[in-house]
Structure 1
Amino acid sequence: MPKRNSTFVTDFLFEGFSSFGWKHRLIFFVVFLTLYLLTLCGNVIIVTIIHLDRHLHTPMYFFLAVLSISDTCYTVTIIPRMLSDLLSPYHTIAFQDCVTQLFFYLTFGINNCFLLMVMGYDRYVAICNPLRYSVIMGRKACIYLASGSLAIGLCMAIVQVTSVFGLPFCDGFVIPHFFCDVRPLLKLACTDTTVNDIINFVVSVCVLILPMGVGFISYVVIISTILKIASAEGRKKAFATCASHLTVVIIHYGCTAIIYLKPKSQSFLGQDRLISVTYTVITPLLNPLVYSLRNKEVKDALYRAMCQKPLSS
């Protein structure tokens, strides 16, 4: 493939949803804004309730609060800009802003992947080793695990951002996406990106396959242990706790894996954009909607905060 002329980049242009008419973009704006506000409100409620209610000062809810904060930062990185572009005829983004967006998107996205793995491990210890749960999942251990997830996100993001923006870019600078992501940016490079594609694939494998593998093993052991519980009520409660977590895990890892682990030759921009909407707009809503607000302990805490009686069993 011949090299194209490279030039110094000052701005990029998002293709975004420009192929849709004004009426469709307006509908997208209303839908995405509604989901975004629901996500923000849900996450704020979760973090506030967990902070105020001492009954929720446990490792499980500590990680839920951390995930809610991470989800909020993750969506703030992408959605406000996307909403603005839906109503604006100008979809340009400065080079420095694109670097910043990609960095924080990767940091919090990867952080979420490892937080979900940590939360699976927390459920494994709680169900399979309950007598030592308070010792294994002590305060320091929880802080180390949460901090480690963020540190991994930061390191991986630095590697990816340095790899991508170390390339020369070509004339045009039209990003075939609605935010700065690795693969769309690599398509604009004026040089061979084989090394960058390998780096992207290795990072994706580390970020997705490792947490998914640990989570899968954890849940196989958890389900095996639950089936041995003599009490039907105990089995029901354990399954209910794990089912919510498993729902979020499958959707989060599934959508992300489709984008980042499939071969470059099978990448279709329109399809990728649709899947990206799922894990940038819809998946963050699952944490407050599926993971927490359907949890009886969280709802009881919410009712206590509102000076009402807790929900009946």
Structure 2
Amino acid sequence: MSGVQQLDVPEHDAGQRLDRWFKRLFPHVAHGKVEKLLRTGQIRVDGKRAKGNFRLEAGQSVRIPPLPDPEVVKAETSKRDRSRLFDMVIYEDRDLIAIDKPAGLAVQGGTNTHEHIDGMLPDGFRLVHRLDRDTSGVLLIAKSAQAAKWAGRAFQSRTAKKIYWGVTNGVPRPLSGEIAGYMAKGELDNRFGNIHEGKEVMMAVRHGTPKAKHARTLYEVVATAGAKAAFVAMMPLTGRTHQLRLHMQILGAPLAGDPKYMTDRQLPGGLDKCLHLHARSLTIPRDGQPDLSVTAPMPKHMKSAFELFGFSESEEQVDWDELL
């Protein structure tokens, strides 16, 4: 634990927010901890309390309270992250583990993303594929570079079989089949009063559009609740960003709770306000061994939706070969 420090603000740091300035100097201190230090007056500017958005001036003196050693924080964080990761494990062998990723937890880091699966992995472990932050379900992790290579080939060669379950706002038409087309990055518009206007999304585009990629999805409506909602099983034949989310929107029934791919139809009452998309199962071939097949249990928000609409997990008996 360090002692109390008094740091002067240099000329080149003038105008910076206090919380961001502090975090840049002491990145091992968690954001929540910084807020608490500010709230309790342990971080002060020229002897006075200050809020996180206070703009610093050159020459001001900032009181830095006693802080834990960075190496101790790193070790404690690593231990906590690994414990949390292994609480998610639903399958393990000498080469691979499969976890049931909860909705809301990112797979990899990015802007303003400090907690993610990749950051929890022990040394040498590697992600084999990805899931959106808001998608729950099966995520495969390799324990070595060699395991990542052979498992990754199943995704690259498209021999990995991924089944997703979703609850849609409305009923897709037609009720089953294949949806295919080109997609590329675009921006949200404000047709449905979406507060995320301007954020990047995927859009259906014509063949030949710059950076467009072809996407294919097999799907079947397993059950419906009138015209309000449907239980849909999906098998992506390609692995494009937001592929299933865009394809359900194109079919006229976007996934319930999706903040980016929407409709002007009101969301049925009683649903949790989160994305209703779950990576239900994953099957990959193994040389000289039976296929590896892993199934993730339904998350709480999906179970609630099934109960609300009277859907049953046992109803899903899709003949995917027939849809091909």
RCO greater where, 1 or 2, for CA within 8 Å and sep 6 or more? 1
Task: Report which of the two has the higher share of strand.
Answer: 2
TM range (shorter): under 0.3
Q: Which has the larger Rg? A: 2
More helix by share: 1
TM-score under structure 1 normalisation?
A: 0.24
